[in-house]
Chain A
Amino acid sequence: MSETTHSGPMLAADGMPLKRSLARALRRQKLRALALVAPLLIFVLLTFVTPIVSMLWRSVENQIVPETLPNTIVALQNWDPTAGELPGEDVYAAFATDLVAAVDAKIHTKLGTRLNYEMPGISSLFRSTGRDVKKWNLETDGPFKEKFIESDKDWGDIDVWKTFKRYSGNYTSGYFLNAVDMENTATGVQLRPEDQRIYATLFIRTMWMSLLITGSCLLLGYPVAWILANLRASTANVLMILVLLPFWTSLLVRTSAWKVLLQQQGVINDLLVWVGLVDDGNRLVMINNQFGTIIAMTHILLPFMILPLYSVMKTVPPSYLRAAKSLGATNWTAFWRVYFPQSVPGIGAGSILVFILAIGYYITPELVGGTQGVFISNRIAFHISTSLNWGLAAALGTILLAAVLLLYYVYDKIVGIDNVKLG
């Protein structure tokens, strides 16, 4: 023990400041703790943080244009697109230089694909001219303006060059604008024509249906969790297995089972027709629409609601309800005033879990959603694997991520994130 009478920092027995001495003593423990979490930390960095950062990056990245067309970009700087005239021979010559290099490197089609997102038709323009350019001699074959327009008359379209100029930077807002049904046209940023707007609808539908699914999970899950939490442990364990059973069945199998049940020639329709509630000619359409998606996803996500609710309810002693009743409260008052407020952390945890899982859900809407029941994630998957427009997929994903974070923030402001318990 050091003297406490003198002022200044507390000293350890050997005269070293106590704080430094303590830090030294704890350093080994800290290093060991770090070593223990290191594998997971590295795993998370590689498989979670890196893809997210890369996704954010892809959603604004546009380097393919300045890298493939360096000379053209420089030449285009002196061209005034508002004047309404095609660029001069210098631009065409620079473009010819860039294109020959690109064709040699076989990257001109990639650039075509990239620019095609902004102006449909450019892709084929690049592909067809790419074949002609191979025969050109850069030294002798000028002037190139005529040669290009001869190769394809679209090279004489001023909009192509405007698109080149607009997307000449290293970064672009094009993907994000596209993701919210807008476009950057010659006359500035504006909404796409009505028949081309799809993403806002999809985002709103995803949010709205996820809310519905969360709500129906809560309605169905709350009583189940309550029963589980109030039964004898042995009975509760058996029932808990029933709750967990769906987890042990493949997602595909469960979703397909709903197809069997809900389709027009399916079990439920057959039953209703047999009972006479539904006319054979007017069988209910319950699948390949929003209804089917909500039913199937509620079923699949229900355990994620029940489990946090159950573990929170398990911690509420039954004596609270008894106390409330002994104080004169009816069953309902006792539940609503005493039990329910204490189960709110479970509701919060379960709802956040189900909602966030729901807005990113892909397989079930894909299988039973039809055209009206698909989510934004299905569109993201389409752009990742079919249209190969990764930039747009990344922008859509980023917006989804931002929406989740925003909701999380709002929830924190209204309910308080401390008020979320998983048990």
Chain B
Amino acid sequence: MTNQGAGDAFVLFERVQKSYDGETLVVKDLNLSIGKGEFLTMLGPSGSGKTTCLMMLAGFETATHGEIKLAGRPINNIPPHKRGIGMVFQNYALFPHMTIAENLAFPLEVRNMGKSEREEKVKRALDMVQMGTFGGRRPAQLSGGQQQRVALARALVFEPELVLMDEPLGALDKQLREHMQFEIKRIADGLGITVVYVTHDQTEALTMSDRVAVFNDGKIQQLAPPDVLYEEPENSFVAQFIGENNTLEGVVKEINNGVALVELDDGELIDCKPVNVSKPGERTRVSIRPERVEMNKARLQPGAHTLKAEVLEFIYMGDIFRTRLRVAGNEEFVVKTRNAPDQRRMQPGEQIEIGWLPTDCRALDA
């Protein structure tokens, strides 16, 4: 777990625990530091504790144990309205009885800002999300994407340094979601604000974040930039949760010079990169990304080792081909190949040979 520069962290979770019923911990001993201007995403399946962490930071839940610091100041006992943290909610939470402009003016009004200054800021915030002409409408008259923009503008209009977003794009359709991802990223970078973003959509997390904290079972499983997370998952959960992943189960035979020899369950021996296996005899899950598997023998690089496989299914997906294989007893082994002119389309039942580089396959915990 990285904990870079805890001294100058903007947001700091120190040994934070949370329990709702006094019997089970929803958040277990969380340590996390977020730098100023960073875009950090909390990613995880539902019930993994990520939203609870966000709510503790916003002040809507109290930590059962531990301390949360904002800009060096403990905020455990500061009520939400004094924290000055902007927040975008999953269902937008735009006040239905106010117009868009009134919604945006609300945080400025409760800060006793003058009318002219208020109008000026509201206008600027609306222009920023390209909703300048919608000030007089009611939330119900806007589409989901427009409401999302307004919710974003409202969370930013009072110029908070930290903005929390709780699955803000969950209700949008795919195309709009992708568009909004870039838009949020652009605005956040432009304003230099710190963003803590909660999502269960790994594509969203990879696209937008500076760093991603993968949550499971109340713990951070891995905290890393998106590329590291994808290419060097530290355990089976992260490998499975981020992107598509092939798993082969086996037992570690020996570990030498950073290479682990694994005997798969059908007796096949392969070389892997040991990640969190330590000694021979341990059970392991070997993880290989579908796009790192080569089905064309001519293109195999030196040092790659090969395995026999049977084609079970071939799916044409436009830009890629998705081929499901039986490899070492695993019938869910997927290979993704680019739709190139020389790429053959496999037929179910074909017996082929596949291969990969030992550095692309990682031996993880079982």
Contact surface of A with B, Cβ cutoff 8 Å: 317, 319-320, 322-331, 333-334, 337-338, 341-342
What does the 1/0 interface line of B163-177 toward A look like (CB < 8 Å)?
010000000000000
B87 contacts A323, C-beta separation under 8 Å: yes
Decide if B110 touches A342 in the complex (CB within 8 Å): no
Compute how far the CA of A334 lies from the CA of B59 in the bound complex, rounded to whole angstroms. 15
Contacts of A325 in B (CB 8 A): 59-60, 79-81
0 or 1 for each of B134-159: is its CB under 8 Å from A? (1 = yes):
00000000000000000000110010
In the complex, A338→B96 CA distance in Å?
9
Contacts A322-B80, A322-B93, A333-B110 known; 20 new A-B pairs at CB < 8 A: A317-B93, A319-B89, A319-B91, A322-B60, A322-B89, A323-B89, A324-B106, A325-B81, A326-B81, A326-B85, A326-B86, A326-B155, A327-B106, A329-B81, A330-B81, A334-B81, A337-B106, A338-B95, A341-B97, A342-B97
Q: How far is the CB of A230 from chain B (nearest CB, A)?
A: 13
Enumerate chain A residues within 8 angstroms of B84, measured Cβ to Cβ: 328
Contacts of B97 in A (CB 8 A): 341-342
B107 on interface, CB distance cutoff 8 Å: yes
**Min C-beta distance of A41 to chain B, whole Å:** 35
By the criterion CB–CB under 8 Å, are A329 and B106 in contact?
yes
CB–CB A328/B107 < 8 A: yes
Q: What 1/0 flags go to B86-122 for Cβ under 8 Å of A?
A: 1101110101110000000011001100000000000
In Å, the complex CA distance between A54 and B240 comes to: 77
Number of A-B residue pairs having CB atoms within 8 Å of each other in the complex: 64
C-beta contact mask, B21-43 vs A, less than 8 Å → 1, else 0?
A: 00000000000000000000000
Cβ-defined contact, B158 with A327, below 8 A: yes
Question: Can you list 13 pairs linking A and B with CB atoms under 8 Å apart?
Answer: A320-B93, A322-B60, A322-B80, A322-B89, A323-B87, A326-B87, A327-B86, A327-B155, A328-B110, A328-B111, A328-B158, A337-B106, A338-B95
Who on chain A is nearest to B163 by CB? Answer: A326
Q: Are A319 and B93 in contact (CB under 8 A)?
A: yes
What residues of B have a CB within 8 angstroms of the CB of A342 in the complex? 96-97
**Is residue B68 contacting chain A, with contact meaning CB distance below 8 A?**
no
**Is B206 among interface residues, defined by CB-CB distance under 8 A?**
no
In angstroms, Cα B154 to Cα A209, docked, is: 46
Chain B neighbourhood of A330, CB < 8 A = 81, 110
Q: Which residue of chain A lies nearest to B58 when distances are taken between CB atoms in the complex?
A: A326
Would you give the shortest CB distance from B255 to chain A, in whole angstroms?
A: 50
A320 CA / B89 CA spacing, docked (Å)? 9
CA of A322 to CA of B87, assembled, Å = 9
Contacting B154 at CB < 8 Å: which of A327, A329, A333, A334?
A327
CA distance A329 to B83 in the complex (A): 11
Give every chain A residue within 8 A of B154 (Cβ-Cβ): 327
Residues of chain A lying within 8 A (CB to CB) of residue B106: 324, 327, 329, 337
Report Cα–Cα, A341/B138, bound state, in Å.
15
Contacts of A329 in B (CB 8 A): 81, 106-107, 110
Among A328, A334, A337, the one with the most B-chain Cβ atoms within 10 Å of its Cβ is A328
Cβ of A326: which chain B residues have Cβ within 8 Å of it?
Answer: 58-59, 80-81, 83, 85-87, 155, 164
**Nearest CB of chain B from residue A142's CB, rounded to whole Å:** 83
With the chains together, A324 CA to B95 CA distance in Å? Answer: 9
Give, as a whole number of angstroms, the nearest-CB distance from B93 to chain A: 4
Enumerate chain A residues within 8 angstroms of B110, measured Cβ to Cβ. Answer: 327-330, 333
Chain A nearest CB: distance from B130 CB in Å? 22
Closest to B154 in A: A327
* Measured CA separation A322–B57 after assembly (Å): 13
Residues of B within 8 A of A331 (CB): 81
Residues of A within 8 A of B87 (CB): 322-323, 326
